[in-house]
Amino acid sequence: MSRLAVTGATGQVGGRVARLLADLRPRLVVRDASRAPEIPGAVTMQASYDDHDASLAALQGVDVLLMVSASESATRRAEHRTFIRAAAEAGVGHIVYTSFMGAAPDAAFTLGRDHFDAEQAILESGLPHTFLRDNFYLDVLPEFADSEGVIRGPAGDGRVAAVARADVADVAAEVLRAPAAHIGATYRLTGPEALTFTEVAARASAVLDRPVRFEDETVDAAYAWRRAAYGAADFELDAWVSTYTAVRDGQMAEVTDDVHRVAGHPPRSLEDVMLGR
């Protein structure tokens, strides 16, 4: 049996993958071992991406690795690069990375640029790889609504083919079970349809049985109230506002059948996600 390592196992995507692959007795590479999920047969190793030596030790003997992209931060690119270097030095056989739809140096969604950088680091490392380019998570769209039920951002009538976290995990698990069949592949993971935020709001409202609506706004207005209300760092404001402008500009609208092709089932809908199906 090949040795599988899963990062992000304390989180949503990595946690689901670890549970789906419990029979393979995965090695869980986590930042805090006390929060690792309890999976019979799994072994826990502690490493954060910015800790080269701990990452190198955690990845020794690993044949196939799921690298869940790190939480957003001003140093995320460097963290990713440190971990990828450790993976290459450890001789990992195949790395599966959770990237982002349209990852590019000039991606409208600013964090898509970090994902492009991570993809480049993996390509430069020579590691056999598979990239899972996820659209936005369907799970988080309803959470964009404020306490009054308003989703506000400069998305206009743009469409977003958001994907369920569970579907990302299902695809990752299939790839990790049979990695050789997926070497060099880039999968673009989307939901079953592309929705405007007006449609997202209406459908979330129906499930939640309370009013949810979308309000378009200008980019300047989007920055102004977010800066005033949250005092967030510039990179966070850029990421937040560009979530909407990427949709407005049509960069998130493409629907693919990659979830169905790889996971073997149709992608979940917004209602499926909200109702925990």
Ligand X SMILES: NC(=O)c1ccc[n+]([C@@H]2O[C@H](COP(=O)([O-])OP(=O)(O)OC[C@H]3O[C@@H](n4cnc5c(N)ncnc54)[C@H](OP(=O)(O)O)[C@@H]3O)[C@@H](O)[C@H]2O)c1
Using CB under 6 A, list all residues that contact ligand X: 7-8, 10-14, 31-32, 35, 48-49, 68-71, 79, 98, 134, 136-137, 140, 165
Taking CB atoms, the residue at the shortest distance from ligand X is: 11
Using DSSP bridges, classify how beta strands 159-160 and 195-196 pair: parallel, antiparallel or unpaired.
Answer: antiparallel
Q: How far apart are CB 21 and ligand X at their closest, in Å?
A: 15
CB of 118: closest distance to ligand X in angstroms?
10
Choice between 64 and 118, CB closer to ligand X: 118
Residue 176 CB contacts under 8 Å (≥ 6 apart), including other chains: 4, 6, 17, 21, 24, 64, 66, 96
Give min distance, CB of 75 to ligand X, in A: 9
Residue 222 C-beta: closest distance to ligand X, Å: 18
Which residue, 143 or 220, has its beta carbon nearer to ligand X?
A: 143
Indicate the residue among 35 and 227 with the shorter CB distance to ligand X.
35
Alpha-carbon torsion (200, 205, 207, 208), positive or negative: positive
Between CA 68 and CA 13 the distance in angstroms is 8
State which residue, 78 or 181, has the beta carbon closest to ligand X: 78
Query: Which of residues 30 and 181 has its CB atom nearest to ligand X in the complex?
Result: 30
Q: CB of 47: closest distance to ligand X in angstroms?
A: 7
Q: What stretch of H or E contains 116?
A: helix 111-125
Which amino acid type is present at position 162?
A
Q: Tell me the angle at which helices 76-90 and 111-125 cross, rounded to the nearest 10 degrees.
A: 20
CA dihedral of 73, 77, 82, 83, whole degrees rounded to 10: 80
For ligand X, which is the closer residue by CB, 135 or 180?
135
Cα–Cα distance measured from residue 254 to residue 101, given in angstroms and rounded to the nearest whole number: 9
Q: How far is the CB of 74 from ligand X (least distance, A)?
A: 12
Place of tokens 């079970």: 177
Cβ-based nearer residue to ligand X, 143 or 209 = 143
CB 88 to ligand X: min, Å:
17
Q: Which pair of tokens denotes residue 210?
A: 């309370």
Choose among 160, 184, 200, 173: nearest CA to 265.
173
